[in-house]
Amino acid sequence: MVVGYLLSMLLGQMQGRAPEGPKAAMADGAAVLEVETEVEAVAETPMATTESPSLDSGEVARAADASAQESPAGPERPVAKAIAQEKKRPEPKVKASEPVRPVKGEVQRPPAPPRPPQPVVEEESAPVEPSNARIWIETTDYDAGLLPTTQTTIRRLKVANKGTEPLLIKSVKASCGCTSARIEKNELAPNAETELVVTIDPNRIHGFESKKSVTIYSNDSENPRLKLDVSCRFEREFILEPENIDFGEVAKGAMAEASMVLRQVRDEPVTLLEVAPWGEVEGFTLSFDLLPESEWRNAGHREYRIRAKLLPEVSPGPFMGRFRIKTDVSRVPYLSSYAKGMVKAFYDVKPTNLVLHNQRRDGDSMSAMVRVSADRPFTLVDLKTSHEAIDASLRPGPGANTTLIDVSLDPEKAQSGTWNEKLMFGVKTGDTVYREQVNIRVLMRGVLPTPGKVVPQAAPGPAGEQ
């Protein structure tokens, strides 16, 4: 707008004054050419601010008066001078929140799309350039030994540069916050040494043993990531004798019982709060009681007996159940242990865990089979399930003394969700019946496909899967 206004003023002045001969005409022509050139230069300058400096009416009038007093053939034209002054003015800063106004007549282009975030290259994951620096540490499998639980422990290991170029240690990282590490010097000349300082915090290790790792990242192109394993043991607040409960070999149908003792070993009292299976482990029960003081090994040091019972319905084969021991020791609030044994019988049941679900379109996954085989004749009795949506039926197996149990899920009777059920039956030989149960995990989606019919697909996928 400003440039157009100045150009019109210039042409008006030229029309109102008669040229004074060829020289004057050439001078006026040169002035017009000069102004047009400067106008083009201004027009080509991008508008980078929301409010560009402009000449008001007073400035234009003063420029016109000055042009009347100056010689037409002078060294500098008045309008060109005004434009030059305008170009010399400092441009105001643009606020980030203000929109940029487009120049009149200019085609406004849409803003460029934002660049996608670039992945951050971690220092330790960046490629290492070839070098003759060679990192060395006195051991890569460090045993800190038996440590106290009342304070942190600091250990120092020697680190050296066995190469012919400077060794640059970029960073040191530990696999767990309970074990931290730092390097004394990050740059080592050839044959120079420093120390790796390892700190172990027992209050962040909830157990009696620990094995963590420390990684040193350096410019050693042959070994840029040096791994150090750090293991240790802690002075115990209490001990378990034995560490796990073992039922040994148990005849099918017999009630087996075994126990362990939790014994306090320090002067600080230890209270046993709970023993219970981890998760959904079944087949055994747990209990505990405080032993009389007369049975304590050391006066004033409590002892608890933890008892486990193996239930008769546990299927033949190996058994292992994990359980937790909860105490009032702040550093070791929970401790894991196991109850294990081997159940012996003249027959075998496989599998002892089933999964029924409607995740496949053909409905085959809503049925399963259990195989019962024995070394003598038997009969399956009292076959039933714990849910009306699960059906079970018997049929002869492929070999002698073998029976198959077909288990199926009726989607019309099953609710949506995930839950656990059981298949129960007895194995009878002579007058003795051995009780068995098979665990069933049921997974049902909200929309159920019809068994035996293929559900149309919007797009092809892997065979038999959705």
Q: Yes or no: say if 208 and 254 are a contact pair by the CB < 8 Å rule.
A: no
When pLDDT is cut at 50, 70 and 90, the band that residue 242 belongs to is very high
Q: What is the pLDDT of residue 249?
A: 96
Q: Where are the alpha helices (DSSP H) in 51-189?
A: 57-69, 78-88
Distance of alpha carbon 204 from alpha carbon 210, whole angstroms: 10
Task: Answer with the residue of higher pLDDT: 128 or 373.
Answer: 373
pLDDT tens digits for 334-390? 999 999 999 999 999 999 999 998 776 555 578 999 999 999 999 999 999 999 999
Give Dmax (Cα) for the chain: 142
Classify residue 123 as exposed, middle or buried by CB count within 10 Å of its CB (0-12, 13-18, 19+): exposed
What DSSP character marks residue 87? H
* Amino acid at site 160: A
Q: Yes or no: say if 440 and 390 are a contact pair by the CB < 8 Å rule.
A: yes
Q: Taking residues 383-408, what's their average pLDDT?
A: 94
Q: What is the pLDDT of residue 53?
A: 40
Q: What is the pLDDT of residue 395?
A: 95
Q: What is the pLDDT of residue 195?
A: 96
Q: Yes or no: say if 348 and 316 are a contact pair by the CB < 8 Å rule.
A: yes
Distance of alpha carbon 455 from alpha carbon 466, whole angstroms: 10
Q: What is the pLDDT of residue 63?
A: 44
For the chain, list the domains and their CATH numbers.
Answer: 2-46+53-83 (no CATH), 128-234 (2.60.40.10), 239-344 (2.60.40.10), 347-444 (2.60.40.10)
Q: Where are the alpha helices (DSSP H) in 228-330?
A: none
Classify residue 380 as exposed, middle or buried by CB count within 10 Å of its CB (0-12, 13-18, 19+): middle
CA angle (57, 26, 64) in 5-degree steps: 15
Q: What is the pLDDT of residue 97?
A: 41
Cis peptide before 351 (omega within 30 of 0): yes
When pLDDT is cut at 50, 70 and 90, the band that residue 90 belongs to is low
Burial 278-307 (b: 16+ CB within 10 A, else e): eeeeebbebebeebeeeeeeeeebbbbebe
pLDDT tens digits for 197-211? 999 999 999 889 999
Distance of alpha carbon 323 from alpha carbon 26, whole angstroms: 107
Instruction: Look at residue 57 and tell me whether its pLDDT is greater than 80.
Output: no
Classify residue 108 as exposed, middle or buried by CB count within 10 Å of its CB (0-12, 13-18, 19+): exposed
The residues near 359 (Cβ < 8 Å, ≥ 6 apart) are 365, 443, 445, 465, 466
